[in-house]
Amino acid sequence: MTTTSATPSSTVLPGSVNLKKILVPLDFSAHSRKALHYAVKLAEQFGSTITLVNVVAPVIYAEGMVLPAAMENLDRVSEEHARTELEKTAAEVREHGGACETHVLLGHPSDEIVNFAKNHQTDLLLITTHGRTGLQHFLLGSTAERILRHAPCPVMVVRDQEHEFA
């Protein structure tokens, strides 16, 4: 019986993986913290910098609508809250010796995340999905799906209900 062994072609397999910049969008849910856990482990292994982003979607009001005073500064308050939470999270990453930076983005989440990845030479985008299906998925859409379709780099999707490997 003869066996043949195929030699992997160097054109198929890269010499090494270079993960210098890992982008992790956070919405401050337990789901997104799970993605951060993976990012921290990968950053330790590859010496990567983790960039945390949060996207604040501007509140759109109907024309001529009179707003209560508490709602007039809602965008600014949301942005300040996002900065505070991102910095707390980044401090935790830095406590464990990781390099971490933060950015608050304004706009539609999937568009802003994809544009940020394009403009900052991101090597890996690490996102989570809530796992919605059927009508919920149709009505709410999927930020993760839109990011997957348009991202300029590899995307790792961490599902809410999966086993841990990190």
Q: Tell me the per-residue pLDDT of 73-88, one tens digit each, with 9 for 90 and over.
A: 777 888 999 999 999 9
The structural domains of the chain, ordered by start, are 21-58+70-159 (3.40.50.620)
pLDDT for 139 equals 41
114 DSSP assignment:
H
**Which of 68-82, 117-131, 152-166 is predicted most confidently?**
117-131
Taking the model in full, what pTM does it have? 0.80
DSSP of 53-108, one letter per residue? Answer: EEEEPPP---TTPPPPHHHHTHHHHHHHHHHHHHHHHHHHHHHTT-EEEEEEEES-
Q: pLDDT at residue 131 above 60?
A: no
Mean pLDDT of all residues in 88-114? 95
